[in-house]
């Protein structure tokens, strides 16, 4: 299973989120679900609906438990994790998840997306 985790600013549009996903997947990898911070799930819901994918809302306290590949000082200060996108993807598949690559950014840099996978049942 592959989950696309998202971090984004409030001003991120649907196009921003789509761009981040495209950058992360290279348009070649199919994802099975989307994930983000629970309080931002409503903003990601239109993309989940458009792609007919489940949306996993991750509580903020679960983000800090994840080991990310990148480190944003703003994410660390706000959520206790280096990357909301990477941590959300990992938390959605915990405990046996691994990141496929560091987060990728949308063309307008308002959204980031990271992919995690798990082969656990």
Task: Give the model's pLDDT for residue 50.
Answer: 97
Each residue's pLDDT expressed in tens, for the chain with a length of 121 residues: 999 999 999 999 999 999 999 999 997 789 999 999 999 999 999 999 999 999 999 999 999 879 899 999 989 888 889 999 999 999 999 888 999 999 999 999 999 999 999 976 5
* Predicted model pTM: 0.94
- Tens of pLDDT, residues 52-72: 999 999 999 999 879 899 999
Q: CA-to-CA distance for 65 and 105, rounded, in angstroms?
A: 23
Q: Where are the domains of the chain?
A: 2-117
Task: Give the model's pLDDT for residue 121.
Answer: 59
CA angle, residues 16, 21, 10, in degrees to nearest 5? 35
| CA-to-CA dists, residue 27 to 12, 23, 24, 36, 89, angstroms | 20, 8, 8, 20, 18
- Give the CATH number of domain 2-117: 3.30.420.180
């Amino acid at each position: 299973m592959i989950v696309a985790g998202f971090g984004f600013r409030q001003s991120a549009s649907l196009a921003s989120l789509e761009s981040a996903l495209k950058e992360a997947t290279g348009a070649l990898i199919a994802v099975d679900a989307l994930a983000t911070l629970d309080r931002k799930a409503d903003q990601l819901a239109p993309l989940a609906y458009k792609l007919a994918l489940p949306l996993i809302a991750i509580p903020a306290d679960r983000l800090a438990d994840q080991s990310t590949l990148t480190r944003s000082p703003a994410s660390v200060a706000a959520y206790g994790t280096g990357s909301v996108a990477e941590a959300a993807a990992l938390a959605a598949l915990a405990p046996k998840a691994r990141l496929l690559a560091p987060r990728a950014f949308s063309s307008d840099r308002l959204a980031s997306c990271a992919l995690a996978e798990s082969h656990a049942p």
